[in-house]
Every structure is written in structure tokens, then in C-alpha cells.
Structure 1
């Protein structure tokens, strides 16, 4: 058990003897992070080399391999790396920029070729986080505070929930008031359970327990279970009166609780509060061993559903516990840690830390479907936002394999199905293949705001605007204070050509979070379609995301007849994003009347796998190309129509 006092993580370091001078600073930095490192320099004269090495290789939490122009030729290093790969604990580093050899390129290699040996530097910290992840431990440093970061339009079309539910409401959340109608019978908000263990590092565990209870309740089609993003806006506001919380969220009931952990002992207290009266139709306290946490979660969800049934006509027994889970406590703990890192959405380091935790969970339980799905989504986020073109194919293939495993293990888990569909779109640009899993996700995930948002985006991209409207409306009903959900509603309206609705919905998103990426761009796009170019330009100027902002400014300037300004914006776009903005360059060309050049850009985007093409079928910026045979052929090849 690594829930209380985490023991030191252990590493087997594999490297070429010629690289020993480069290996020593790595060893020093890992040890400075509290990691115990085995390397061949520890062998004493009387040690038998092979048995000692094999024992260290088999017992280490992680195998760190230093790839270089010499080590890729070493049979010893390759054999040790192979064992790390087989044990699912490989952490590959390149010390001189050399690519990993064939057979190891499906792993994200950490480049430390420009690292100067300083412990705590970002390059080596990625390796430290990965090692802690494989050891099932939290990183030695506290998690960074969440912060809003720039998100590209590539991410906007569905980066695994990073944008779909991203951007929790800030000071402007109170501008949106849930209506009285939202407090329907059977509606409930599950607040994050408080951690009473005296260790803030255990917050992820107590909050993870409440999230698992929420997920189980959400499977009950007769209940309306609010999504966590809206809840967090109120929970962080520090409102103690649960009646006031219910009123703010527009729900009939609030489930709150606490977790106190002491060694192997676990005490979970939980209370269901009636939002109208402030009374508690059900409350319970559980004293269990930590290994019983899974049964307790199910028992609480069952009791709450029963209490709701007694209080309303809409309750009822949930449809069993959430599929795709695990009964392995170590795997569960690593999964919750991964979720905590992922929820930060604070940059590459947080996503890679999440990935390491999900992989640690899978090393403990390879049949943990929810962890497979989470790993697939995280791989896509990392690849789309931070990956190099040379890494795309192997990373996307890896994500697709994880998503398929999730579906095979838990076909009734909505997030597994939506993840598979999303990987087909984001990783493979195969919208035809995505259709079936997204339809299954839509049927299974009516209680999951993230799933419904993903389904809404896919429907909007595919031209099924009625389905998109229903899915997005459901997502907003489940998560009314989530600015990301309102932004996606604006995007869907733009796809359907409903310019006024797109503007209204995007403005609502901005009222919830004035710093939200993408919303001003949606308004600008709608204004362009109405011929309001000056107003559109003002919206693009206010857009925080550089990719969206520069694309919009180039289009607005071109439509206003200012060729010089259009060129400045387009040149800056290319200088800053290069091939990653190929699709956006096509949008600019299409809106500038350069249809042939726009098509050339789109074909190049297809060649390099630019996922912006998923927007093409309903993108109003590409309207000038719709009658072209080559454009129709491109869309057909992507699986549209």
C-alpha cells in the first residue's frame, strides 16, 4: 500500500559505458528527488554481474534508458529496455537527440540533450514524474495550482475533455443563474468529499471517492446528476449552507461527505441534504479498512439512490456499479492521482504526470478499462498539443490500441465508447469509423456531461445538427456553470449556420469565464458570415488563443480589403505555428477568394494528418469550396457524408 507513507521509488538505469559521464548527472538528479538508483557502478568486486543485474532489473519500479548514438547499438541496453517495455515501466531519455531504435518508438522519449545537469530542471523533472508514476506515488513536489493555458483550435475540436470541460467558471460565474426548473425531482449534486486526514496530499483520494460515487449515480437514467465542473465553482466559493449550494446549482439534493484516513483505517461520512428544507433524508458513517473502499462507494451510491426514490417519484435503483473499474487498490489509487494531474490542465508536465499514473494503474491491473480510456485521451492531448509530426503516427496508434482495449473490456462504459470515437477523429481522421462508438456513447452517456459534449461536437461536425443540439443541451443541463459547454454550444450553432444563436451562446460562455479561449473566435466567425467585418475584427483582437486570433485577423482584414494587414497576420501565423496551422491557412485562402490555393493547403493538411480537417464538412469558412469536386472527394475520404 502506498497510500500513506510512500517508500522510495527504485530505478534501474540502462546506459552505454561510453556515456557514463552523461549518466552520472542523471543519477544524481534522480537521487536528489528521493529515488533509489541501481546502476552498474554499484557492483562490487565480488558480485556476480548477471544475477545481480537481473535481480535489479526485475525489482525496479521503473527502467530508465539513456538512448544515444552508442547505446542504440548496444545489445545489453536493448535487452534491458525490452524488459522495461515488457514490464510496462520504461522511461526513455535521449541524451544527444538520438531517436529510440525500432521497437521502442511508441514511447514518448524525453529529450535531455540540452540539459545542463541541474536537478529540478523541466527536462529531468519529466523523468522524475514518470518514475513516481510507475511507482504508484505522487510526485515529491506539490501539484502546481491550476491555471488557464492557451489551447489551439486543434484541441478545441475535442482533446479528450481538456477543452470540452476546461476553464472552470471564474468571477463571472454568478452572471449565470440556474433556473428554478433545473431543480427537478431527482436532481443531485455530489460535492467533493473533504479530506480530514491532515495531509493535503490526500485530497485527490477523498475527491476521487466522491467522483466515483457521482459516476455510479449518473448511470441511473431517472436521476439528473450534476457534472463536477459546475459543482467546483460553488465548492471553491466556500458556501457552508447546503441549501444555498442547492439553490446556486439548481438541484433538489446535495450529497456531501468527508474521508478520514489513518494507516489502513478509513472513515467515510456522507450526508444527503434536501435543498428545499435543509433536512437530511439520509446520512451514514462507514468505518472500514482501506481495501473496502470499493464496496463503500457502491453502498453509498445505492443508499442515495434509494433515499431519492423515497423522496421523489424519479428515483430508483441505479443500473449496477460503474463498469470498467478495478478492485486493485494500488491501481485505483494511481488512477485517482492521474485524474488529479489531468484535471490541472496546466501544461505538458501535468498531462505527462497523468499519463504516467494511468500507466502505473494499468501495470497493476491491465483490465482496468477506465484507465485504458484515460490513457488514450491523455496521449491524444499530449500529441496534439505538444507532439512533433514525426511522433504522430506511433502516438495515435498507441492511443487507438488503448481505446480499443477500453471498449473490449467495458463496452457499456460510455466514456470508453466516446474515447474510441474521439481517437478515430483526432488520431486517425476517420469519421466513418467514429460513427458507431459515438452513437453507442450517446445512448449510454446521457448522465455524463463530457460524453454528451463529445457526441455533440461530433454530430455538429458531421452535419447532424438536430442531434448536436440535443446532445449539447443535455450537457448544459448536467453542467450549467461550465463555460466550455456553452462555448461548444456556440460552435455547434456556427456549424449549423445559426449565427445569432452562436453569438448568444459564446457570450454566455464569456460571462462565465472572461478569459475563456475560443469563445471570441466563435463570435468573430459568426460576424464574418454576416458581413460584419469590423465587428468581427474586434472579437478576434480579444481572442486569447493565438492560433484562432491570427487566423481570424487575417480573414477579417482580407474581407475588408486590407491585403497588407491580412498578409501580416498570415505571416505571423505561419511563423508561430508552421505546419500545425495548415488547416487555418486553407481557411484564410478560401475566405480571400484563392480557392485553388485553399485546396492545396487542405490536401497538404490531409497528407500531414492535421486534425483540423475534422471541421471541414460544416466549417463556414470553407463555404467557397463546397461545389468543387476535389473538395467533395476530400470530404468523402475523411468519412463525411
Structure 2
């Protein structure tokens, strides 16, 4: 859109219930900026098209958060667009916190602002806009010019969103005045130049290990794998890729294998200038790769003048080539998250790695994770306890070999919590994993899930905000954010996060059913039914339909869905059967099934303290004793 006086254009996003206050903000800002807001769209304009054009053209987006706007899908979508472009300036009209996923930015509180254009609050807003635009602060002369149709135009927006990389680091002062201004970095997928596609696991694995080593440095903001990999085939230059990812630096590399020799080239590029800051090319034995990835991390940290923690070379790694190769193959299989077969193949590879090097701590931790994954997703009821017992044993071995390995502590916490409902015993492991692995999005995400299930709602929301900032394009992160909102009874927010997860991966497991749960709690039964019917996992699809049809008064359909749940899934869905009984107003049957779930080790019990579907029996003293006996506060 044209800018008549060549001043920056500000898009004002707000809820229409806040229109009077939005008008005062627009009037205060117009002396220094061209302000667009929807009250002044020219008559006859196509509303949505005008908004889209103004949003795309704006130099910065000022979002007015309030009790009204946090519930607005329009405002959230505009805020998302601004964050993706690193042009978000968030204000709070009444002290309301931004919704989940938008809390990493410093917010300016206008609760006590009385409309004066020269008030300290508005000066702070102007400085924030200038920072978002990358400008130096300027002196201003007082002005009392009114908002005119020429310099005031559109704003109002839509749908829940991904946090941009670098946001947390900006808030904490790591990155200066804008999210991509200093020590944020993306590790791009290393290229496999061996000429053999079957060796891709080696370049992919080295990429992950270098990323993990860098993430242990508290002075860096390291973008997670899923988001970094979105530019794998991008033909743009370094500056455009860095801008797209919202980071200051890019690390890329290449891997060429010849037998047990590996040649690795790495290059650190300044995303602002496009010039290389540091590069190297070395030949190593395959078994030396873990030590080498730590050297890369230290070299990058030195290049960025950030002190690197003094971990031993290749924390938890190995120098055995056979062990390394099997571990990386297992990791590639596990990361597919395809089905039970790939999990079992990953288990076999990890076991080969440990047989080759029994002191390979990362392999023990990875084996623990995959054993617990098999138990929670595909094992028969009789297999649950043996699998979780083995998972706990492998995690303990990982920690004994590498006491500061966050993956080991995370694996131990998960096996204790999901496998044995040892809520109190799991907490030290999760807290230690979070302390050691705050730079790893996967670790932070799983810790956030544990926190919310233990009713630590504020901590969980802070943690998932961090995970969203580290990995904004990972559907698993948004699915977890939805679960946290759902457990917190923030159902519209949950629906937004589940929708975002499905946009990123339409086949992600359980997201359809989870969105159905939130929609059903909002009373939107037809939409919930469609969501359940789209869920491929029969356990969650049938459980959801059994509850929904009962609420809708379709008893025959409800009974049919429940019978299918029992007959097709069996004891593995004991917890889900208890949810149905609670919703059907049968507390005795629900409590009996929960007791059985405890006996067989059903990991669904990890949800029990915050599960909205159990609300009908939540005040029953028998239920409260059961939850307390499990160790929930």
C-alpha cells in the first residue's frame, strides 16, 4: 500500500470491543507513523482483501491484547503474521497476558495510560516499533494532529500461531533489540555428498548431534530440527534463508564417507551480511565423530564470542564406529515416528549399538525412550510392565555413565511417570532434564507435558512457550501446546494449536481426536464429530464418539462406539473406557476401570489429575483418594 509521507506504516490489530481504546492508541501514534485500522476502510472496500493488503504492506504490527482480543482468532492470526515477519509490537490494554505462543516478547502495559501521546507508555511503544524496524531511536516534537483518513487505515486478524525463533532470547537479553540480532543460529541439514543415498543417516545424524551440542550452550538460541529443515531445499541465498528462519547465523556442512573415514566440511555464515565467519574441513575416523561434533560446537561458540560449557568431548557418545553407525540408524528410524515396526527396528539398532559399546550413554537413553514409546503406543497389556521396567533400567544406566546427559534424566522421568505412575519419583528427573536441556526443544516439550499433568500450569505454559520459540514449525510442539491449553480448560486456545499442528502435518497422530475433545467441551458437537471421525487411531476415535453421541442423545450410536472400543482395542484402552463411564454418569464403573488401569500399568493414568473428561467424578472422595494415592498433589 502507498505511504504518502514516507513514514513507517503501522497496522493496528485489536478486538472490536476495544475500539474506543484502539482509537486513542491510533491517535497517539499517528504523529510519527502512518496508522492503519479497520474503522477507516474506504466505503465499498472488500473488507478481508483490504485487511490482507494492509497487513502485508505494514512495516510493523501493533497488537492490542486484552481480555477480548486473546479470544479473537482474527487478532491471533494477525499477531502470527507479524511474528513470522519479526514485526510484532505487543501491548496490553488491561494487563491481560498474551495467549499461549506469544509470551516471549516484552509486552508494554497500557493499563494506566490515559491517552496522552507524550506519556512514558507511548514513548516506550515508539521505541519498541523502532526496534522492530531496526531503527535507532529518534527525538520527536510534540504533535496534536488528529487521525485522518489519509494516514489511518486497517487492522483486525485470525487463528492461533507458531512462535518465531529467537523470541525467548530477545526477551532474556541474549539477542539485543530484535529476535535475530545476535546469537540465534540454525543448523541446516548437512549434505550427504557420498553419492550413496543409504548413507544419508550419517549426515542427518551428525547434523542432530552438532545441534544438540550447541543447544547445551546457554548463550545461544538454537533453532530446532523441524523448523531448520524447512529450508533444506531452499535455493535462496544465506541472507534470505536467515531472514526466513528468523536467525542471525547459519551453520551448514557436508559429509563424505569412505569406509571408516569421514570427511566433514562446516561453514558458519552471518545471516545479515551473507559472508562466512568461520569454516573448516577435516578428515576423521567414524568413531571420532562424537568428539568432533563437540569441537564444532566450541568453534562456533568461539566465533560468536559465547562461552561454551566444558562438557567432556561428545557427552554420552562413543568412539566405536559400529556402535555409532547402529545408533544413527536407530535414531533415523525412531525419528520417522511412522509405526510400531519402525520403533521396533530402532530398538534393535540401539541394542546393537550398546552391544558394540556398553558405555554408550546416548544409546542407553535412546533405547529407554523407544521402549517406553512401544509400551505407550502399540504394546499389549501384558507387555507394559516388562517394557517400562526395561526402559527405567536403560535410563538409569545412561545417567550412571553420563550424569549430566539431559536425555538420560528425561528418559528416567518418563519411564517412572508413564510406566509406574511414580509422580513424585519422576519429578527430580524431569526437573534435572529441563535444567540441563533448556536449549533442546524436544526435551523442553516433554517436560512441559509432565508439568501440566502434575498441575504445574504456569510452569508448563512457560516451558511450552520456550519450545514453540525453539521449534515453531514442529507439529508435535503445537500438539503439545494444545494439550496444555486443553488441560488448563482453555478450549479455544487448544483448538487453535491443534489446527496448527494439523496444518503442519495432516497425519499427525491423535491431533484430530484431541481437537474433537476441545470442540466437544465448547459445545460444538458437529465439528467435534467430524474431528473424531477423521482420527485414524481407533482408541481415541471410538472413545470420543462414545462420549459425543451420548451427549447428543444418540444412545444407540454411543453404545455401538463403546462396544467397538472394548472389542477392538481391549485392555489397552482401559483408561479411555473409564473416561466414557465418567461421562455417561456411571462413577462406580469409572472408578473400577481406573483401578484396573493401575493394575495393568495403563499410561493413560498420567492424564488423570487434569483430564476434563473425568470432571463428572472429580469431586467424588473416592476419586480424590485415588488421585492422591497415585502421588498427584
Alpha-carbon distance, 1:240 to partner: 5.0
Matches within 5 A, 1:134-533: 178=164, 182-235=179-232, 237-309=233-305, 315-320=306-311, 321-533=313-525
Alpha-carbon distance, 1:477 to partner: 1.0
1:625/1:637 CA distance change after superposition, 3 Å: same
Alpha-carbon distance, 1:537 to partner: 2.1
Alpha-carbon distance, 1:291 to partner: 4.5
Q: Which residue of 2 aligns with 1:110?
A: none
Separation (CA, whole Å) in 1 of partners of 2:497 and 2:382: 38
Please list every run of 5 or more consecutive structure 2 residues that lacks an aligned counterpart in the other structure: 1-160, 167-177
Separation (CA, whole Å) in 2 of partners of 1:585 and 1:293: 49
Alpha-carbon distance, 1:331 to partner: 1.7
Alpha-carbon distance, 1:322 to partner: 4.7
Separation (CA, whole Å) in 2 of partners of 1:542 and 1:392: 28
8 Å CA contact 2:392, 2:411 repeated in 1? no
1:384/1:443 CA distance change after superposition, 3 Å: same
Equivalent residue in structure 2 for 1:598, among 584, 590, 612: 590
1:186/1:418 CA distance change after superposition, 3 Å: same
Separation (CA, whole Å) in 1 of partners of 2:245 and 2:328: 25
SS in 2 for 1:257: strand
Q: Which residue of 2 aligns with 1:622?
A: 614
- 1:512-539 CA distances to partner (integer Å, 9 max, x unpaired)? 2233222232322223223333332232
Separation (CA, whole Å) in 2 of partners of 1:463 and 1:381: 23
1:536/1:347 CA distance change after superposition, 3 Å: closer
- 1:308-347 CA distances to partner (integer Å, 9 max, x unpaired)? 22xxxxx332443452222223222221121112122222
SS in 2 for 1:635: helix
Alpha-carbon distance, 1:498 to partner: 1.2
SS in 1 for 2:200: helix
1:184/1:410 CA distance change after superposition, 3 Å: farther
Separation (CA, whole Å) in 1 of partners of 2:590 and 2:181: 50
8 Å CA contact 2:165, 2:247 repeated in 1? no
8 Å CA contact 1:190, 1:214 repeated in 2? yes
State the TM-score, normalizing by the size of structure 2: 0.70
Q: Which residue of 2 aligns with 1:61?
A: none
Q: Which residue of 1 aligns with 2:147?
A: none
SS in 2 for 1:259: strand
1:589/1:289 CA distance change after superposition, 3 Å: closer
Separation (CA, whole Å) in 2 of partners of 1:440 and 1:296: 26
Alpha-carbon distance, 1:610 to partner: 1.1
Separation (CA, whole Å) in 2 of partners of 1:294 and 1:374: 16
Separation (CA, whole Å) in 2 of partners of 1:507 and 1:496: 18
- 1:441-470 CA distances to partner (integer Å, 9 max, x unpaired)? 111111111111110000111110011101
- 1:251-296 CA distances to partner (integer Å, 9 max, x unpaired)? 1111101012223443211111122221111111113444543443
Where relative contact order (Cα < 8 A, 6+ residues apart) is larger, the structure is 1
8 Å CA contact 1:215, 1:322 repeated in 2? no
SS in 2 for 1:222: coil
Q: Which residue of 2 aligns with 1:112?
A: none
Separation (CA, whole Å) in 2 of partners of 1:395 and 1:547: 20
Separation (CA, whole Å) in 1 of partners of 2:303 and 2:571: 56
State the TM-score, normalizing by the size of structure 1: 0.69
Alpha-carbon distance, 1:491 to partner: 0.4
1:431/1:179 CA distance change after superposition, 3 Å: closer
Separation (CA, whole Å) in 2 of partners of 1:347 and 1:418: 22
Separation (CA, whole Å) in 1 of partners of 2:286 and 2:315: 21
8 Å CA contact 1:516, 1:544 repeated in 2? no
Separation (CA, whole Å) in 1 of partners of 2:179 and 2:569: 43
1:265/1:403 CA distance change after superposition, 3 Å: closer
RMSD, aligned CA: 2.0
SS in 2 for 1:281: strand
8 Å CA contact 2:380, 2:572 repeated in 1? no
8 Å CA contact 1:219, 1:445 repeated in 2? yes
Please list every run of 5 or more consecutive structure 1 residues that lacks an aligned counterpart in the other structure: 1-174, 310-314
8 Å CA contact 1:188, 1:254 repeated in 2? yes
SS in 2 for 1:480: coil
Alpha-carbon distance, 1:436 to partner: 0.9
1:289/1:457 CA distance change after superposition, 3 Å: closer
Alpha-carbon distance, 1:238 to partner: 4.1
8 Å CA contact 2:165, 2:472 repeated in 1? no
Q: Which residue of 1 aligns with 2:101?
A: none
Alpha-carbon distance, 1:550 to partner: 1.5
Q: Which residue of 2 aligns with 1:159?
A: none
